[in-house]
Amino acid sequence: MSEPIIRVEDFTTGYAGKVLLKDINFTVERGEVFVILGGSGSGKSTLLKHMIGLYEPMSGRIFIDGDDIVTAEGDARRAILKKIGVMYQSGALFGSMTLLENVRLPLEEYTSLDDDAMDLLARMKLKLVGLESFTGHMPSEISGGMQKRAAIARAMALDPTILFLDEPSAGLDPITSAELDQLVLRLARSLHITFVIVTHELASIYTVADRVIMLDKRTMGIIAEGDPKVLRDTSDNPWVRQFFRREATAEAA
Amino acid sequence: MSAAATARVAAPPAATLAVVDAEGARELRLAGRLDAYAIAGVWSDSRAALAAAPDRRVVVDASRVDYCDGGGIAMLVDLLRQPRPPEAPVTVRGLKPEFQTLLDQFQPNELRAPPVEPAERLHTVEEIGRAALIVGRDLRTQIIFVGETAAALWNAMRDPQSVRWKDVWYTCEQVGVNALPIVALISFLLGIILAFQSAVPMRQFGAEIFVADLIGLSILRELGPLMTAILLAGRSGAAFAAEIGTMKVNEELNALTTMGLDPVRFLVVTRILAALLMVPLLTLFADIIGILGGALTMLTFNIPIAAFLHEIDSLVDVKDLLAGLAKTPVFAILIAGIGCLRGLQTEQGASAVGISATRAVVSGIILLVVVDGIYAFIYYLLDV
């Protein structure tokens, strides 16, 4: 078995001196669809933002393809960032640019391709997510689901090895959400991209996830790890069972 | 009055309260519709009735209540939670089962507002220390920003290819071309007002012609650059802060960072370059329009434009024009730099963007005036 593509070691983080996640350890294998799940406030989005280098942890190390993103600076950091693509919860497309320009931007900044070549590449990425006929649209002119797909296209512009998706199904209807799941599966299987997805959408988890970790704010750590269907059927942790069976807490019921 | 009108005026079956003192207990008989609109009077009456019988049992009879929503339930909870001695409890009876389930969701005593912990009084020294810490942090981010911006501008100078010129030209259009009408209007008015206000008293001494010198000097050296800069601080400084602030709220800045693109190089450098190109041009334009305004006003005082310009030419020279224009690059950097800095400092939420835009304008204008003062002092020392 090859070296895991992401390795998180003894990771602790929090806000304003208050610990949110403590002593987290896990690995993500090359090519798998890895889902981080947990209830609201469990720190899953925070964990993702650490993995892409936006926040600095209190302690611990996060290796992306062998290099620690926590300590990397300058060119070393840019080299790590080139391997990853990120789709933010809101899409975070640049509002003053068309979809094509959004997808072209990383190409313009990192490659010396000529205009035609960049256009073609950007169009191909948009075609992959089914937006080939919207290349000239501004982000505000398309629906939320399309914005998220365009954000995936932009994240894939430089053919990253890892794609991070923050709450891909948030605010989407079930059909659009399912289409996004199919897109993830297609990209994972055909391009062998490793996906790290933060979500709490159960339907989506069962469809796409090879492996999940579940965070819980009560323990500030990982309370379950493995195949979601197996966890649902066999976990002895009451919180895990509760989550997978969509039950309200006993006190509230 | 017609029946329909009466019906419109008459409220739906209102809430009523009857207080009956039976043996050993006081009964509060509620009836009608207990909703948030109808219960205000009944609520205070019930409380008063409760308070008037502090040592007797109180039974709230709700059997004739037809409707009870969240408001009514809140009133019942309030009556139940009043502090009473154990031998004089409050009970509710006869509430319809569907309303009783609503009431049963709440434990009257758990809804008390949590006791307010008295704010910890800090020692004066500690307060000063904390304030200093905040100022220090703010100063630190500003110094970092200045450093990053300077480094990015230096890199842009060494490698002009790395600048996103398309964005620079676009921002030039926003900052420069689109500001022409407002800059023209204000400087034209400024010229007219200056000329008129000074020509009237000067005429008493037959000295109207010297209005030309007054206008020439004040507009070229001070008012042209300063007014243009203040206008742009309000117009473009605020726009930069709002634009970048919104990008931050929308995670677009995070997106840039994770693409390995430096927001300072990407957003700040282009805006500062555009301002550096546009502010001197706009100032020159404002100078010309302002003097034109003055010249046109003086026509009404029988001073021909040629004579006006000739008078300016005799006293005002290129040095004065340059003294004014020499300020504009600094003004440009201030306006764009502060606008961008405030944008980058935006916190989360929609109101944060408004706060950033406001801060950009306020601190921009303050710094412009301070820097203008410093320039005046330096010019005085250098005898320029």
Could you report the per-residue pLDDT of B61-80, keeping only the tens digit for each? 988 888 888 888 888 888 88
pLDDT of residue B282: 96
Instruction: Provide the number of structural domains found in chain A.
Output: 2
Domain match, A225 and A246 both: yes
Q: Which residue has the higher pLDDT, B1 or B282?
A: B282
Buried-state track A4-19, b at ≥16 Cβ within 10 A, e below 16: bbbbbbebbbeeeeee
Lowest mean pLDDT among A20-24, A243-247, B5-9, B42-46: B5-9
pLDDT for A250: 54
Looking at residues B193-212, what average pLDDT do you find? 92
B350 and chain A: CB distance < 8 Å anywhere? Answer: no
Across the interface, do B261 and A109 touch by the CB < 8 Å criterion? yes
Check: CB of residue A158 under 8 Å from CB of residue A93. no
Residues from chain B that touch A109, judged by Cβ atoms under 8 A, are: 259-261
Domain boundary among A106, A134, A152: A152
Q: Is A38 on the interface with B (CB under 8 A)?
A: no
Contact state of B261 with A90 under an 8 Å Cβ cutoff: no
Determine whether the interchain pair A88/B259 forms a contact, defined as Cβ–Cβ distance below 8 Å. no
Q: Hey, is A249 helix, strand or coil?
A: coil
Instruction: Give yes or no for a contact between B229 and B329, defined as CB atoms under 8 angstroms apart.
Output: no
pTM as predicted: 0.78
Domain interval for residue A96 = 88-152
Cα B38 to Cα A142, B13, B34, B48, B72, distances in angstroms = 47, 9, 6, 17, 9
pLDDT of residue A253: 35
pLDDT band at residue B319, thresholds of 50, 70 and 90?
A: very high
pLDDT in tens, B267-303: 999 999 999 999 999 999 999 999 999 999 999 999 9
- Going by the DSSP 8-state scheme, the letter that residue A158 receives in this structure is T
Domain boundaries, chain B: 3-111, 163-382
Q: Indicate whether A53 and A1 sit together in one domain.
A: yes
- Give me the CATH number covering residue A221: 3.40.50.300
A231 vs B: CB within 8 A: no
Its ipTM equals: 0.84
- DSSP state, A133? G
Is the domain of A251 the same as that of A185?
yes
Q: Which of A106, A132, A152 is the last residue of a domain?
A: A152
Q: Is the pLDDT of residue B1 over 50?
A: no
- We find that the CATH architecture of domain B3-111 is 2-Layer Sandwich (3.30)
The answer on pLDDT for B227 being more than 90 is: yes
Helix, strand or coil for residue B27?
Answer: strand
Split at pLDDT 50, 70, 90, the class of B9 is low
Whether residues A19 and A133 share a domain: the answer is: no
Q: What is the mean pLDDT of chain B?
A: 89
Domain-terminating residue out of A116, A134, A152: A152
The better pLDDT of the pair B107, B324 is held by: B324
Do A68 and A110 fall into the same domain? no
Q: Does B258 contact A at CB distance below 8 Å?
A: yes
